[in-house]
């Protein structure tokens, strides 16, 4: 029975969505709390709750893109985090959560 799951393209799509949401949640958890405020974004706790609920609901109910509207809402939240929040925080923290190093008023030096 599991062999047929691997042949189903919707199963692969569901696994990709769950993996994407998991990556967004882990990334949000590893970023510093003050970087969210410095980037003028919602707090770290807000993003952890939203992304955690999105991933948790997919794991409980299944990540069915065509029939589960909650999957799409959670996917949009993860995309917003990855496209808007993550680059702003990454730019401020210089990548991995460290402080701003070698940044002058006009850029890096």
What digits encode the pLDDT tens for the residues 82-103? 999 999 999 888 755 445 566 6
**Which pLDDT value is given to residue 97?**
47
Longest dimension (CA), the chain: 61
What digits encode the pLDDT tens for the residues 7-22? 888 888 899 999 999 9
What residues does each domain of the chain span? 14-95
Whether 25 contacts 81, CB under 8 Å:
no
Q: How many CA atoms lie within 13 A of 31 on its CB side?
A: 34
Q: Residue 55 belongs to what H/E stretch?
A: helix 44-61
Instruction: Please state the pTM of the whole predicted model.
Output: 0.79
Higher pLDDT, 104 or 20: 20
**Which pLDDT value is given to residue 8?**
82
Say how far apart CA 20 and CA 71 lie, in whole Å.
Answer: 12
Whether 72 contacts 14, CB under 8 Å:
no
**Which pLDDT value is given to residue 63?**
83
């Amino acid at each position: 029975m599991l062999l047929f799951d691997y042949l189903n393209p919707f199963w692969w799509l569901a696994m990709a969505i769950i993996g994407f949401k998991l990556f967004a949640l882990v990334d949000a958890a590893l970023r510093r709390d003050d970087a969210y405020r410095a980037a003028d974004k919602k707090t770290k706790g807000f993003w952890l709750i939203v992304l955690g609920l999105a991933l948790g609901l997919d794991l409980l109910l299944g990540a069915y893109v065509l029939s589960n509207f909650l999957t799409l809402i959670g996917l949009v939240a993860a995309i917003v985090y990855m496209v808007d929040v993550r680059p702003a925080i990454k730019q401020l923290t210089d990548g991995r959560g460290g402080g701003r190093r070698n940044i002058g008023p006009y850029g890096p030096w």
